Amino acid sequence: MAYTYKIIGDSCCDLPEDKRNDPHFQLIPLTLQVDEHFIIDDETFDQKKFLRLVAESPNCPKSACPSPEAFKEAYRNSGADMVFVVTLSKELSGSYNSARLGKELYEEEYGADRKICVLNSKSASCGEGLIAMKLQELCEAGKEFEEIVERITDYLDHMKTWFVLETLDSLKKNGRLTGIKSILATALNIKPVMSANEGVIIQVDQARGIQKALQKMVAHMKKYYQHPEELEISIAHCNNAGRAEFVKNEIQKLMRFKKIYTVETAGVATLYANDGGIIIAA
């Protein structure tokens, strides 16, 4: 039997353009705030305008996750037998809890007429995107719901997210770096190499200057991935396609992945990555 499916993400799920236009995917927007400006993180998001607002503001930008009702309505309108939901790491956002509560609200009102699985990505940005694309691969292969949940859970357990940013200000000011004990002064142009461990951000290395930090990140990836040829990888960049291409070339010098995607950050990932940031998931 062929099942219909829908893959729902919050708007931090950075997908390649063709997937964003695929009706099997739906992204539920978070709301961004810079001073008195409220920005919906949907197809109307203007990255350059947002970065300008952030640069001009003395205050830290903020984000608010979608409501449980927004998720509930997405489930109701999905028209699918199987609904899979991919959210930001629950350590970084309330999006996962909203999606879970939305599932409870839906089932209280409409019963269990469709199967819904809510997944904590333990990641963000292109990490969420990779999970969403893996879900589509499994759905298109005709797998049963229970097998998809089992296989995607295993996939999540082995996926890792890496990033190097020009500045960590947004992460620090929004309390997202609670596990980082010390980071050297930015005046020294020290750029930390960061990773996510069970959804919690950790520092794995550092270098003077962003190019060297990016090269160190790739070197750590080389040590981590034993069989890269079996994996797909996604590189997300914030307003710097040239830097993403540099990282892609550095990766290809050392490893051969099955496929490499390059995506641009939407609103939420732009807020945290800041101008010039690079995020990688595999």
**Which range, of 167-171, 255-259, 278-282, averages the lowest pLDDT?**
167-171
Q: What is the pLDDT of residue 226?
A: 94
What H or E segment, with its residue span, contains residue 158? helix 145-158
Residue 91: both structure tokens together: 């350590």
Residue with tokens 């010098």: 253
226 versus 172: the higher-pLDDT residue is: 226
What DSSP string runs through 104-156? HHHHHHH-SSSEEEEEE-SS-BHHHHHHHHHHHHHHHTT--HHHHHHHHHHHH
Contact 192, 206 (CB under 8 A): yes
Q: Average model confidence (pLDDT) for the chain?
A: 93
**C-beta atoms surrounding 264 within 10 Å:** 18
pLDDT tens digits, 165-185: 987 776 766 666 655 544 544
User: Within 10 Å of residue 107's Cβ, how many Cβ atoms?
Assistant: 15
Residues 50-91 have pLDDT tens digits of: 999 999 999 989 999 999 999 999 999 999 999 999 999 999
Summarised one tens digit per residue, pLDDT across range 148-159 is: 999 999 999 999
Residue 2 confidence class, pLDDT cut points 50, 70, 90: confident
Provide DSSP, 20-67: HT-TTEEEEPPEEEETTEEEE-STT--HHHHHHHHHH-SS--EEEPPP
- Model pLDDT, residue 3: 93
User: Has residue 126 got a pLDDT over 50?
Assistant: yes
Residue 268 has pLDDT above 90, yes or no: yes
The confidence score (pLDDT) of residue 168 equals: 74
Q: Which pLDDT value is given to residue 40?
A: 98
- Gap between the Cα atoms of 202 and 122, Å rounded: 13
Helix (H) / strand (E) element for 206: namely strand 200-208
What was the pLDDT predicted at 167?
79
Give 80's contacts (C-beta < 8 A, 6+ positions apart): 3, 4, 5, 6, 114
Query: In this structure, what token pair is assigned to residue 14?
Result: 């950075």
CATH number of 161-281: 3.30.1180.10
For 21-28, the CB contacts below 8 A with 24+ separation are 22/136, 24/136, 24/139, 25/132, 25/136, 26/74, 26/78, 27/266, 28/66, 28/70, 28/71, 28/74
The predicted structure's pLDDT at residue 189: 84
Sheet holding 31-34: strands in order across? 37-40, 31-34, 62-64
Query: Is the pLDDT confidence value at 230 over 80?
Result: yes
The structure tokens listed for 231 are: 């994996």
What's the rounded Cα separation, in Å, for the pair 33 and 50?
10
Domain boundaries, the chain: 5-30+65-158, 161-281
CATH fold of 5-30+65-158, please? Answer: Rossmann fold (3.40.50)
Q: Do domains 5-30+65-158 and 161-281 have the same CATH topology?
A: no
Q: What three-state secondary structure class fits 207?
A: strand
- Give the model confidence (pLDDT) of 28-42 as tens digits: 999 999 999 999 999
pLDDT at site 181: 46
Percentage of the chain lying above the pLDDT 90 cut: 87
